[in-house]
Amino acid sequence: DSQGVPTMQCDFVPIKDLADRDNDAIVDVIGVCKSAEDVTRITTRANRDVSKRALSLMDMTGKEVSVTLWGEEAEKFDASGSPVVAIKKARLSDFRGKSLSASFSSTIMVNPDIPQAFRLRAWYDQGGYALDSQSLTETGPATGSSAVNWKTFSEMKKDNLGHGEKADYFSCVATVVFIRKESCLYQACPSADCYKKVIDQNNGMYHCGKCNKEFPNFKYRLLLSANLADCWDNQWVTCFQETAEVLLGCSAAELGQLRDTDETAFDEVFQKANFSTHIFKNRVKLETYNDESRVKVTVLEILPVDHREYSRSLLSSISKLAR
């Protein structure tokens, strides 16, 4: 949100260390912008156009990572001269390797006046630019048929995805057939980097066990369980905050207010989401809880269906079957 001005303290994580961080971790990063894609626009379920742009950041560890900027930050970013970019509170995803997203709560600083930026600038200009770096993010367009592991739900089950040591990833075109709304919201700690459920102390205060603090307020967080169906099978999936908001076309705060004040409008949000069709990018892993193992499918990203690209994928699959 600021350019060239160090507005806060950052605890920068070397890009190579992102490979060992958990999915959905909130991190501070700094790197030289090696490249930037053109700005694209997507339409949310709320019929709101949002700009997005992917950058490739590199640091002295010789590693690169893709970072997605959104909204005004995506539109105004100037990649000329390979600027040093620092981002506070970027969200880490383990889809297509490792990638970062600078959400609307992130702070983006271009060529900040800090020692880490000066060192990166000198290193890059004195030969770092020629380094044969390795990216933590899989290359190729995320929506291209050659870069996407398309699976139906029946293929996911037949191929035993998620049963290995590491999680598997696949994409599918599916339709929402049911969303559990009864427990989709919870009251979470209001601290920026904490998502722990708070306990109402019945005295106007809310206690967070993780932070071991009491707060006079809380923030709503979404945790959706939805049933998706394609032409062959169906599957229960989990959507966390960001993907849940995309699916519902409504923020957690807005939905929480509706639940508290207008039950009819609250129900309408879910009715509008039902029977909508999207591209779902998913993580699948066998998890054990209370000695019971089950395959858990987590939605990492929801995109509108590119019918031309998806048709190409279907034609390619048909051609393979005909051989």
Q: Is the pLDDT score of 268 beyond 80?
A: yes
Residue 225 pLDDT class (50, 70, 90 cuts): very high
Mean pLDDT in the chain?
Answer: 87
CA–CA distance from 28 to each of 89, 97, 116 (Å)? 5, 18, 12
User: What mean pLDDT is predicted for residues 31-51?
Assistant: 80
Task: Give the per-residue pLDDT at 57.
Answer: 95
Domains of the chain: 15-135 (2.40.50.140), 153-184+223-322 (2.40.50.140)
Query: pLDDT (tens digit, 9 = 90+) per residue, 104-156?
Result: 778 999 999 999 999 999 998 888 888 877 888 875 444 444 446 789 999 99
User: What mean pLDDT is predicted for residues 209-228?
Assistant: 94
**Separation CA 37–CA 56 (nearest Å):** 9
Task: Give the per-residue pLDDT at 141.
Answer: 41
* pTM score: 0.59
CA–CA distance from 121 to each of 9, 32, 89, 118 (Å)? 19, 7, 22, 5
Task: Give the per-residue pLDDT at 45.
Answer: 59
